[in-house]
Amino acid sequence: MRYLLLCFCVFMSSVVRAELTIEITQGQDNPVSIAVVPFSNEAAELTEDIHGIVMADLYRSGRFAPLPAYDMLSQPHTAAEVFFNEWRAVSVEYVLIGRIANDGFGRIRTNVELFDVLRQSKILEYSADGGVLEQRDIAHAVSDAVFEKLTGMPGAFSTKIAYVSGKNEFSATSVSYNNRLMIADVDGARERQLLESSQPILSPSWSPDAKKIAYVSFEDGRPAIYIYDLATNVRQKVTAFPGLNSAPAWSPDGRYLAMVLSKSGNPDIYVLDLESRQLRQMTRHYGIDTEPSWLPDGSALVFTSDRAGQPQIYQVDMATGYEERLTFDGNYNARARVLLDGSGIVLIHRSEGYSDYHIALQNIARGTIKVLTATVLDESPTVAPNGSTVLYATRDGGRGILAAVSVDGNVKYNIPSSARDVREPAWSPYIADHKFFLKK
Amino acid sequence: MTSSKMKVLGVSLAALIAVGCSSTSTTDSQSQAEAEAAAAAAAAQAEADRRAAAEAAARAEARALEVEKNSLETVFYFAFDESALSAETRAALDAMAAYLKKTDGAIRLEGHADERGSREYNMALGERRAKAVANYLSIQGVDRSRFDIISYGEERPAMMGHSEGSWSKNRRAEVKL
């Protein structure tokens, strides 16, 4: 019951702000118990629930079980007010307290302190500040700091997602299509529309500095690859060859764009040098080669090919052009994304003898495949920059939604949209500078 | 038809007026002129009839072509992850090729996939399906340069359901006539 009530509170805090919402469907067996005590506030400009956002972030990670406020014996705001035996009594392992204030120069500052109840000591002091429009950024920065302190892994709460939302309307006489290219905070808040078209939009891909998004749009009636500059809102058409112009993927150094072109007769992987505009053909096979994804060091591309009769994942070495097959387990393996530590790939997987499409993780060294999801029409996996979570597209009650699963498969949550089909998520890299996201 | 009748009437009227105004001394030249006029009228009539017949034939042919066009299958379905043409599709494409060879101009071919699996792989699959249709038609004698091929992958389903009933209708190539 406590779990349900908390779930409801967290859910409500985000539902009023965003078209996308979060619903945890499966949490970790033994989440860390943390009390996120309501922060004190002296900033008149405050319009966002910074405390609620921090609590929702930690909860959504699945690694934490935040204590409901009504179970707190006290609500301290300073270190002197923290009595460890009170928190031990309600089985809390960590206590986070915070104070929000105006810094006197129109900026909102949040100071937080994190305590280890068992060791009875303060383990983190952190402060974040920002303008009125940056309240959610402040909250996510706090979440990132707390998450990193307690898990040893950087938080990814301050990152963004790009995705496509669509609405197809079928009537007796006609079908109308509407598609939008969107970005939002990773919790679904602060959605921003980059493009709207009756023609298909596909495959958003972030530049490594998170300032640009490459994507495919049919807005001229044919597929072309574009780059959208988020700071200037200027779009640039990159390729529009005859045939497919598809699946752009930015190299880790930002200089190259891997893509799929069928201008020579069938789909092959190419790499475009964005500076020299030189195009290099990486695969030459009469089968379908598509969906390139870079290894983190840029030394090779993994891609989908049906050269063996069914889609499987292959790898091509950038220096030598040497190709090898990576997946052997299952009769449909496609759309791989490489984990940032290079240890594995997440992909769409269908097992031998089954008809369902799941997200799976393949360990590259061992070649073993682990299915992460239980839904049946899963696609478009994308990995958080800290490697903790995989976001993907699936269907829920006839609607296209985004869902997330931790790479260990233990934590799952859905991000349903209120009115439209949502698909093709792309998780941004870490963002060094959030300022340009505030521009419309 | 009406205008050619009017012409004939005009020529005959001119001949009558010529008769009424003439004197007896010019009878020979009068009769010669009458004969020439009658011959010209007959020739004009013949030409008009020939033209009318040709126009009627062309119209009939266009009507027949339209009927033929309307009788053609334009949507061809595929098995999952396949671009092989079924026997029914080949038979339907034979009729399509026979029709297309009587026409000219660009032929738009659209390839589609069902929603299962990955979107960009399905984009490639849709292209392969449209190309399978183009290849078959070109073997049947349709000029390959007329084909305008575009794949929509799974982005433009014909049916919105999420089971085989809809999927089988979404795995398709369409010839846009």
pLDDT tens digits along B52-62: 999 999 999 99
User: Which of B121, B160, B172 should one mutate to test binding to chain A, selecting the residue with the greatest count of A CBs within 10 A?
Assistant: B121
Residue whose entry in the numeric block shows the structure tokens 């979060």: A22
Task: Tell me which residues of chain B, numbers 138 to 177, contact chain A at a CB-CB cutoff of 8 Å.
Answer: 149-153, 155-160, 162
Residue whose entry in the numeric block shows the structure tokens 């960009």: B120
Q: Higher model confidence: residue A3 or residue A366?
A: A366
Token reading at A24: 């945890």
Average pLDDT over residues A281-302: 97
Chain B residues closer than 8 Å to A266 by CB: 128
Dihedral sign (CA A213, A216, A217, A220): positive
CA distance A347 to A387: 14
Q: Do B123 and A424 touch (CB under 8 A)?
A: no
Average pLDDT over residues B3-17: 50
Chain A residues closer than 8 Å to B117 by CB: 311, 332, 334, 348, 350, 357, 379
Q: How confident is the model at residue A11 (pLDDT cuts 50, 70, 90)?
A: very low
Helix (H) or strand (E) holding A276: none
Could you tell me if A347 and A305 are in contact, meaning their C-beta atoms sit under 8 angstroms apart? no
Helices (H), A370-419: none
CA distance A185 to A402: 13
pLDDT at B5: 52
Count of CB pairs separated by less than 8 Å, A with B:
90
CA distance A50 to A46: 9
pLDDT at A215: 98
Could you tell me if A334 and A348 are in contact, meaning their C-beta atoms sit under 8 angstroms apart? yes
Chain A residues closer than 8 Å to B116 by CB: 357, 377
Nearest to A290 among B121, B150, B152 (CB): B121
CA distance B112 to B75: 11
Residue B173 vs residues A273, A344, B8: alpha-carbon distances, Å: 34, 37, 57
> What does residue A294 show for φ and ψ, rounded to 5 degrees?
-80, 145
Q: pLDDT tens across A197-206, in order?
A: 999 999 999 9
CA distance A207 to A236: 14
DSSP letter at A277 equals -
CA distance B141 to A110: 75
Q: Which residue of A has its CA nearest to B160?
A: A170
pLDDT at A235: 96
- The residue type of B8 is V
Nearest to B127 among A202, A243, A423 (CB): A243
Q: Do A395 and B150 touch (CB under 8 A)?
A: no
CA distance A246 to A270: 10
Give yes or no for residue A7 having a pLDDT over 50.
no
pLDDT at A43: 85
Helices (H), A61-158: 84-89, 135-151
Helix (H) or strand (E) holding A423: strand A421-427
* Residues A210-234: b if buried by 16+ CB within 10 A, e if exposed: bbbbbbbbbbeebbbbbbbebeeee
Give yes or no for residue A275 having a pLDDT over 50.
yes
Alpha carbon B50 to its chain centroid, in Å, reads 23
CA distance A383 to A121: 34
Give yes or no for residue A237 having a pLDDT over 50.
yes
pLDDT at A230: 94
Nearest to B120 among A247, A332, A377 (CB): A247
Listed residue (B80, B171, B126, B79) closest to A357, CA to CA: B80
Burial of residue A174 (CB within 10 Å: 0-12, 13-18, 19+) is exposed
Burial of residue A411 (CB within 10 Å: 0-12, 13-18, 19+) is buried
Q: Higher model confidence: residue A211 or residue B31?
A: A211
pLDDT at B100: 96
Cβ-Cβ contacts under 8 Å for A291 (sequence gap 6 or more): A247, A260, A303, A304, A334, A335, A336, B118, B120, B121
CA distance A326 to A313: 6
Token reading at A183: 């970005």
Average pLDDT over residues B75-91: 97
Q: pLDDT tens across A153-211, in order?
A: 999 999 999 999 999 888 888 888 999 999 999 999 999 999 999 999 999 999 999 99
The shortest C-alpha distance from A21 to chain B (Å) reads 24
DSSP, collapsed to helix, strand or coil, labels residue A124 as strand
Q: pLDDT tens across A307-326, in order?
A: 999 999 999 999 999 999 99
Q: Do B118 and A177 touch (CB under 8 A)?
A: no
Q: Do B162 and A262 touch (CB under 8 A)?
A: no
Q: pLDDT tens across A139-151, in order?
A: 999 999 999 999 9
pLDDT at A13: 38
CA distance A240 to A216: 10
Give yes or no for residue A382 having a pLDDT over 60.
yes
Cβ-Cβ contacts under 8 Å for A397 (sequence gap 6 or more): none
Which is it for strands A40-41 and A94-102: parallel, antiparallel or unpaired?
Answer: parallel
